[in-house]
């Protein structure tokens, strides 16, 4: 079984209390407080090694972890150690990766509206590849590169027109997407790059068709379209594009009903469409969710509860939509377990967040042992798009993040303090007088 096909981190054990990475989750909750993000290092490393093993027959494959799934200095270090590069989408991610000491030639800058300031930062730090998304950006990037006397290696982000069956908000490759050049616009932009934007050096094409994808057919269709376009351009313009970035998107298992394909199945499917190109060109893959999701869990402490007059039971946790916005944003589903040793009879409950929104429901209808205040709830598969999407809604401090491995735990992100919440605020002098 591939790690993305598991709901839980690979080191999860029930020894009275739940343990992950050899650490007792109840002790972690006591030591670091809740809500707490816990990341299992062994699961991340195993996943990276699975990717490398599954694609070992492709001599020129490069894995670029999609930092937006979860970006921090320590996480970046681990992925770099496993020979992954980085797909970044902001100055903040680029800065983090840089500060982690990464060779910036292994970084790609992607995004549909990169600012001048971000493009300048990326050029100054020698980011290896820019994925140019639109006409405006091509002109702007060429201008900045010209001012700096630099050449920039670029890919073109294109929209292959593939509808994949995932939530509308996380689908990106369809015709009316906000991302990338339409197929009909590619000739025009390539012509412009060759004749006018002399500081841009076109290396290849880039697409990303969406996220939480379970159908391999979407990937094989995508690769076929990309290869065909690459051949077209090489013939038409007499150039030698030799790089294809096929994005990320492999799904993970949040609940028992989810059946994502394995990493090996993904490799086979992509290999079939690549054919003889698999060793002729450089292939980039940008997995985010499938690398980090399963490695993470969130611990919460149970507080109040309420049974409505119709008999629906809500149990409230000390976190919710600010540390995990996915259920309220995408109707995302999660699996949870009680971390402490609770052998009560089970009952059907709804796990409610603590934030002031009726939509702040973390899990609707889950069968759990009868919960008491003070119990610790472990929500699985929160490594991706949780911390990275977290907010300070209701002015609640963002949780800490702990890395566990071989019975050791280290805080890799400190819990925000009340002081942190006001640290960047000022009261204008004229208000101080009143």
Ligand X SMILES: *Cc1c(COP(=O)(O)O)cnc(C)c1O
Phi, psi at 357, each rounded to 5° = -150, 130
Q: What is the 3-state secondary structure (H, E, C) of 260-318?
A: CCCHHHHHHHHHHHHHHHHHCCEEEECCCHHHHCCCEEEEEEEEEEEECCCCCEEEEEC
Please say whether the beta carbons of 17 and 391 come within 8 A: no
**Set 23, 164, 356, 378: catalytic member:** 356
Number of residues that bind ligand X (CB under 6 A): 16
Shortest CB 27 distance to ligand X, Å? 31
Residue 229's contacts (CB-CB under 8 Å, 6 or more residues apart) are 158, 183, 186, 205
Counting contacts by CB under 6 A, is residue 290 touching ligand X? yes
Give CA–CA dist 11/7, Å, rounded. 12
Q: Which is nearer to ligand X, 137 or 375 (CB)?
A: 137
Q: Does 211 bind ligand X (CB under 6 A)?
A: yes
Measure the CA angle with vertex 338, ends 336 and 340; round to 5°.
150
User: Of 95-103, 180-188, 281-289, 362-370, which part binds ligand X (CB under 6 A)?
Assistant: 281-289
**Stretch of 112-120, 242-250, 359-367, 415-423 lying at the interface with ligand X (CB under 6 A):** 242-250
Q: Which of 288, 319, 353, 399 binds ligand X (CB under 6 A)?
A: 288
Of 146, 215, 155, residue with least CA distance to 181:
155
Q: What residues numbered 401-420 form the site for ligand X, per CB under 6 A?
A: none
Site for ligand X, residues 151 to 210, rule: CB under 6 A:
208
- Asked if residue 269 lies in contact with residue 278, where contact means CB atoms within 8 angstroms, the answer is no
Does residue 66 bind ligand X (CB under 6 A)? yes
Residue whose CB is less far from ligand X, 2 or 110: 110
For ligand X, the closer CB: 226 or 352 = 226
Q: Return the residue of 247, 260, 319, 353 that touches ligand X, per CB under 6 A.
A: 247
Rank residues 248 and 353 by Cβ distance to ligand X and give the closer one. 248
Q: How far is the CB of 240 from ligand X (least distance, A)?
A: 24
Nearest one of 103, 149, 91, 101 to 128, comparing CA atoms:
103
Candidates 9, 204, 249, 327: give the one binding ligand X (CB under 6 A): 249
Q: How far is the CB of 417 from ligand X (least distance, A)?
A: 30
Q: Which helix (H) or strand (E) holds 257?
A: none
Minimum CB–partner distance for residue 189 and ligand X (Å): 18
Among 41, 118, 222, 286, which residue interacts with ligand X (rule: CB under 6 A)?
Answer: 286
110 binds ligand X (CB under 6 A): yes
Nearer to ligand X, 297 or 377 (CB): 297
Q: Crossing angle of helices 116-124/91-99, nearest 10°?
A: 20
Task: Please pick, from the candidates 8, 62, 289, 326, the single residue that binds ligand X as defined by CB under 6 A.
Answer: 289
Nearest to 297 by CA among 372, 404, 428, 390: 404
Shortest gap between Cβ of 262 and ligand X (angstroms)? Answer: 15
Does the footprint of ligand X cover residue 68 (CB under 6 A)? yes
Q: Using CA atoms, how far apart are residues 177 and 105, in angstroms rounded to an integer?
A: 29
Nearer to ligand X, 211 or 382 (CB): 211
Helix H or strand E segment including 32: helix 25-32
DSSP reduced 3-state for 60: coil
What minimum distance in Å lies between the beta carbon of 321 and ligand X?
Answer: 20
The vertex-45 CA angle with 41 and 48, nearest 5°, equals: 145
Rg (CA), the chain: 23
Element (H, E) at 147: helix 135-148
In the complex, minimum distance from the CB of residue 320 to ligand X, in angstroms, rounded to a whole number: 22
Of 248 and 327, nearer to ligand X (C-beta) is: 248
Does 23 participate in catalysis according to the annotation? no
Active site residues: 356
Task: Using CB under 6 A, list all residues that contact ligand X.
Answer: 66, 68-69, 87, 110, 208, 211, 247-250, 286-290
């Amino acid at each position: 079984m591939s790690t993305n096909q598991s709901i839980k981190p690979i080191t999860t054990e029930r020894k009275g209390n739940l343990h992950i990475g050899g650490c007792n989750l109840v002790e972690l909750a006591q030591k670091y407080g809740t809500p707490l993000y816990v990341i299992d290092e062994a699961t991340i490393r195993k996943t990276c090694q699975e990717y490398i093993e599954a694609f070992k027959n492709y001599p020129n494959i490069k894995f670029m972890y999609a930092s937006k799934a979860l970006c921090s200095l320590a996480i970046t270090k681990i992925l770099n150690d496993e020979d992954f590069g980085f797909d970044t989408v902001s100055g903040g991610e680029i800065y983090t990766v840089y500060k982690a000491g990464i060779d910036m030639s292994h970084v790609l800058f992607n995004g549909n509206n990169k600012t001048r300031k971000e493009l300048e930062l990326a050029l100054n730090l020698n980011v290896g590849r820019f994925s140019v998304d639109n006409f405006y950006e091509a002109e702007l990037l060429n201008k900045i590169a010209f001012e700096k006397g630099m050449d920039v290696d670029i890919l073109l982000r294109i929209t292959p027109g593939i509808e994949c069956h995932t939530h509308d908000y996380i689908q990106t490759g369809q015709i009316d997407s906000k991302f990338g050049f339409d197929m009909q616009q590619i000739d025009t932009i390539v012509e412009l790059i060759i004749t006018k934007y002399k500081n841009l050096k076109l290396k290849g094409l880039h697409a990303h068709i969406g996220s939480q994808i379970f159908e391999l057919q979407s990937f094989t269709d995508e690769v076929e379209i990309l290869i065909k376009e690459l051949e077209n351009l090489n013939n038409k313009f007499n150039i030698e594009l030799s790089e294809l970035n096929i994005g990320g998107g492999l799904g993970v298992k949040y609940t028992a009903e989810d059946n994502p394909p394995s990493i090996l199945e993904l490799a086979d499917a992509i290999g079939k469409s690549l054919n003889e190109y698999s060793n002729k060109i450089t292939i980039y893959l940008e997995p985010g969710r499938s690398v980090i999701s399963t490695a993470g869990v969130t611990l919460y402490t149970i507080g109040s509860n309420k049974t409505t007059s119709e008999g629906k039971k809500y149990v409230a946790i000390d976190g919710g939509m600010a540390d995990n916005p996915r259920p309220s944003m995408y109707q995302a589903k999660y699996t949870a377990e009680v971390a402490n040793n609770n052998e009560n009879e089970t009952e059907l409950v709804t796990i409610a967040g603590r934030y002031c929104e009726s939509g702040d429901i973390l899990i609707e209808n889950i069968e759990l042992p009868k919960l008491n205040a003070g119990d610790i709830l472990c929500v699985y598969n929160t490594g991706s798009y949780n911390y990275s999407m977290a907010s300070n809604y209701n002015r609640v401090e963002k949780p800490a993040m702990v890395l566990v491995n071989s019975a050791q735990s280290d805080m890799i992100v400190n819990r925000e303090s009340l002081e942190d919440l006001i640290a960047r605020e000022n009261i204008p002098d004229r208000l101080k007088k009143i």
